[in-house]
Amino acid sequence: MGADSGALGELAARLRRLRFERGLTHVALERRAGLGHTTVSQTLNGRKVPTEGTVVALAKALGADPGPLLVLRERAAEEIVEAAVRADDIPFEERYCRYVVERHSDLTVVGLDLRGSHAASWPLEPAYVSLELTSRRDGSLTVVERAEKALAGQQRALIRGLAGSGKTTLVQWLAVTSARRGSIPFVIPLRRLDLKSAPPAPDRFLEAIRCPLAPAQPPDWADRVLKSGRGLLLVDGIDEVPAHRREETKEWLRDLIAAYPRASFLVTTRPTAVPERWLEVAGFAELTVRPMNRKDVLVFATRWHTAAGTEPELEERFKDAVRAQRPLAQLATTPLMCALMCALHRDRRGRLPRSRMELYEAALAMLLGRRDGERGIEAPEGINLTQHEAVQLLQRLAYWLIRNSQAEMEERTALAVLEDVLPAMPTVAGQGDAQQVLTHLVSRCGLLRRPTADTIDFVHRTFQDYLGAKAAVEGLDLGLLVRNAHDDQWEDVVRMAVAHARPGERATLLRHLMARGDQADDHRTRRHLLAMACLEQATELDPEVRAKVEERAAELVPPRGYAEAQKLAAVGPVILDLLPGPQGLPEKEAEAVVHTARAVGGDAALTLLKRYRGCRSPRVISALSASWDSFDTGEFAEEILNHLPADCAITVGSRAALELVSSLPQQSDISFIGDVSADDILAVVDPDRLTSIMLSANQRLNDVVFLRSLPKLRRLRLLQCSEITDLSPLDGLPLTELLIHDTRPHDLRRVAELPELEELNLDLPVRRSHTSSLPGMPKLRRLYVWQRKALRSLTGLDTFDGLEYLAINAPRFPEAEREELTHLPRLAYLTITEQDMPRLAMGPALPQVRELTLVRPSHPVDLTPVGKVFPGLRRLRIFCHWSHQTVVDLSTLATAEPLDVVIAEAKEVLNLDLFPPGKVTIIPGPRY
């Protein structure tokens, strides 16, 4: 962000580039243009604004259109005039930029001033950590970039971020760097403005923020700076403006943009303070601050300790503690909390508490009990509170916010809460009224802040939950905690309440929580798992209660399949504390744990997945690899993919992932999702190692010629690549597997030109036709004809007398028209999707089929026709839809020779006792 490089410089650069492209020497250019050496030299070096005649002559000599060059020349002349007017401004600008650098070169974090007046701040540059910003481009593609890269070239940007996420620090960094690079930053913290009057005009910017240099600024100086494009307006805290005045602030910004279109603007806000696309009409790009990931936390720790001047051993001990304890890592995901933890660790001489409760207690002791005393400050507002008194007041405010489901409270509400409690605290009431006490808490305790001029909130939700839970327990509101335990906003409150409670209260709370879960179908899983998570905080608990909590959790964890994984993930991050493994877990359960962590997402989930990266199970490896798009691209590649086998498949779904492909060990099986060009693909793959490629949802590619550059390619999958209709470039390739799923028809006769093809998988809107629908393929052994987008399926299948495996979609392949399958003597494996079971008997007998797979059959599943249609059947597999309540009755199969049966995701299996042990496998299996 910031001012451009100047039209004169741009003109000179463009002329130099043209000379280079034409291959002309200076002498040759001078001769062609008929101009002197000095004139050409000054023009190409940007030392002087050339005349119009000079520009036209050079353009003609270089074979270029003089129009754009003359426009640049005119702009350069205007800028020279402006610069001449600014000559008297230079001394002030230099003084002002020095002030900005000095004023914003320190980082200050609330509550960390433990060792004198200087300890609350650190130098900006050594301590600053570049945050990640996310943005959406082309309507859907999510881009994650570091702030410097994300903001480069952005003239106007709106930054969203949670409290303590580093928005103000980013503003400081931009102010300092731009002041050093020639731009003129105006830092406008909206909380410092007089919100009772209109937002300031440019000539009052400095006065409005109480800058001491305001009286010294030259007349109309700010107007000239913004008009020239050198001004950078940094507006911090839209959320700190009262809601009813935010539209007025928006109009103020739009007026400024209209008046100064060349100036740069950056605005910050909390995520929910203004709607999405709030400033889109004004040309603002929207970016969001991401929580710090594990790498960011470690970098922050390094820079914090460097800036604070601590010994290296202290830094390493802090990093080890955060790596080892997930709750600590969760707390450290914002700069505010990470700095607090660093300071606490330093203050305790290299030790962090083992539990969150200990951490909160130690933090409160530091902030409330010792902060002002160690600084030599005595009651600046005339209020002197003990730690216990401060906690009692703060927990009342926290509990009000929790009970009312609010993140902020109006100041008048906060005053009413304090007025209600002060009569019971005469020592505090004797020092001042509610207004004075609130002012003291906001300015001295380090836990409250004013997000806007008329509201109060906690600097971190964690402290609000800790203090509110304490108030709930002291107020004997256990019933309220249980009634709200299903709400994820109350999750940490309940966990902290268990920690605060005395043993008897703790047992009562957990008993009621379990009982409430037993009674409720909709929130049973959440309540039972939350009770299990609470055991971590239950240092003393009735053994009988503990056993009952563990018994209920054992019915839910670990997940045994995809359906259970999704249900557990819906519980939220609390489930991550309870997921076991991988040691001792069967393959299916280990895979389901990975699915659960992927669905939850976040750094804690990635930490859990790292435990599984050493598994050799193909299902677990596949689930891990498929999780790439759910996590930070670079970190997942480093922490997970680099540790997986080189032959596992990977899926590339973003530009960031594409850029990392060439550095990954996995090069044999790659899927590309989205509009990736052939050049992009060939630039990152290893043609001598790539054997399988999938192209999905790609509307950019219109041919497959580039695939001929991949000599090892044996497997090709095309999904929703509607611009690719000509398969002739594949002629002669040694492909053994081909998949085409699309919304447009293809000329399937080209498939005959793939002499090695063994497997063909089709889902196309092909009209019903004769045997010409598919050409002869002598080596074809496996055929999938789903045809979900067609009225009917393909015919002529009886020509493939070597076919061993066939998969069909029942609604597109009516039972009465399956006669041709009787002419497939080697057809041993048949898969039918969405079969209406009573209609199955209408089809011909297929005695050659040895294994039948029914996917999402009609329910209840009546297996009566199976024995008649498939008299030679040896194995039956039934995969029900996990969200349906499917019942499978095995009674009709019990009279024949017992089959091997596998049933997945059924609600109930009837007459299972009619089969010998081991002949029927239920997925997920029973818990033991």
pLDDT at 376 (0 to 100)? 40
CA angle 219, 223, 225 (to 5 degrees): 105
Q: Mark residue 307 as left, alpha or beta (left: phi above 0; alpha: psi -120 to 50; beta: remaining).
A: alpha
At 859, which amino acid appears?
A: H
Strand partners, 288: 134, 160
Q: Six-digit token pair at 74?
A: 């005119």
Range picked from 145-159, 215-229, 753-767 for highest mean pLDDT: 215-229
Other Cβ atoms within 10 Å of 404 Cβ, number: 9
Other Cβ atoms within 10 Å of 221 Cβ, number: 20
pLDDT at 896 (0 to 100)? 65
Three-class SS of 464-517: HHHHHHHHHHHCCCHHHHHHCCCCHHHHHHHHHHHHHCCHHHHHHHHHHHHHHH
Mean pLDDT to the nearest integer, 286-313: 87
Does residue 319 surpass a pLDDT of 90? no
Peptide bond into 586 cis (omega under 30): no
Of the candidate ranges 5-9, 129-133, 545-549, 778-782, the one whose mean pLDDT is the lowest: 5-9
Does residue 875 surpass a pLDDT of 90? yes
pTM above 0.85, yes or no: no
Does residue 574 surpass a pLDDT of 80? no
pLDDT tier at 776, thresholds 50, 70, 90: confident
Does residue 119 surpass a pLDDT of 50? no
pLDDT at 374 (0 to 100)? 43
pLDDT at 109 (0 to 100)? 55
pLDDT at 28 (0 to 100)? 87
Q: Does residue 695 contact residue 675 with C-beta atoms inside 8 Å? A: no
Range picked from 48-52, 381-385, 459-463, 749-753 for highest mean pLDDT: 48-52
pLDDT at 326 (0 to 100)? 62
Strand partners, 854: 832, 878
Other Cβ atoms within 10 Å of 694 Cβ, number: 20
pLDDT at 537 (0 to 100)? 78
Query: What residues contact 441, with CB distance under 8 A and at least 6 apart?
Result: 390, 393, 394, 447, 448
Mean pLDDT to the nearest integer, 246-265: 92
Q: Does residue 485 contact residue 513 with C-beta atoms inside 8 Å? A: yes
pLDDT digits (tens, 9 = 90+) for 743-771: 676 777 778 888 899 999 988 775 544 33
Mean pLDDT of the chain: 85
Residue predicted with more confidence, 298 or 744 = 298
Nearest to 191 by CA among 167, 213, 174: 167
Q: How many residues does the chain have?
A: 928
Q: Starting from the edge strand earliest in sequence, which strands make up the sheet with 448-449, in order?
A: 409-410, 455-458, 448-449
pLDDT digits (tens, 9 = 90+) for 478-532: 999 999 888 877 888 998 999 999 999 999 999 999 988 888 767 888 888 888 8
Q: In whole angstroms, what is the distance from residue 82 CA to residue 468 CA?
A: 59
Residue predicted with more confidence, 770 or 105 = 105
Of the candidate ranges 257-271, 485-499, 914-928, the one whose mean pLDDT is the lowest: 914-928
Q: In whole angstroms, what is the distance from residue 874 CA to residue 850 CA?
A: 5
pLDDT digits (tens, 9 = 90+) for 195-206: 678 889 999 999
pLDDT digits (tens, 9 = 90+) for 600-642: 887 778 888 988 999 999 999 999 999 998 888 988 998 899 9
To the nearest whole percent, how much of the chain has pLDDT over 90? 39
Does residue 661 surpass a pLDDT of 90? yes
pLDDT tier at 355, thresholds 50, 70, 90: low
Mean pLDDT to the nearest integer, 654-671: 94
Strand partners, 670: 650, 693
Establish how many alpha carbons lie within 13 A of residue 646's alpha carbon, considering only the half-sphere containing its beta carbon. Answer: 8
DSSP 283-323: TPEEEEEPPP-HHHHHHHHHHHHHHHT--HHHHHHHHHHHH
Calculate the alpha carbon distances from 891 to 898, 910, 918 in Å.
11, 7, 16
Q: Residue 145: helix, strand or coil by DSSP? A: strand
**Pure H helices in 34-146:** 37-44, 52-62, 66-85, 90-103, 124-127
Does residue 117 surpass a pLDDT of 60? no
Does residue 892 surpass a pLDDT of 90? no
Other Cβ atoms within 10 Å of 438 Cβ, number: 23
Residue predicted with more confidence, 231 or 364 = 231
pLDDT digits (tens, 9 = 90+) for 707-722: 999 999 999 999 999 8
Mean pLDDT to the nearest integer, 551-571: 84
Does residue 796 surpass a pLDDT of 80? no
Mean pLDDT to the nearest integer, 821-841: 92
Does residue 377 surpass a pLDDT of 50? no
Enumerate long-range contacts of 103-107, CB under 8 Å, 24 or more apart: 104/172, 104/175, 104/176, 104/187, 105/172, 105/176, 107/169, 107/172, 107/307
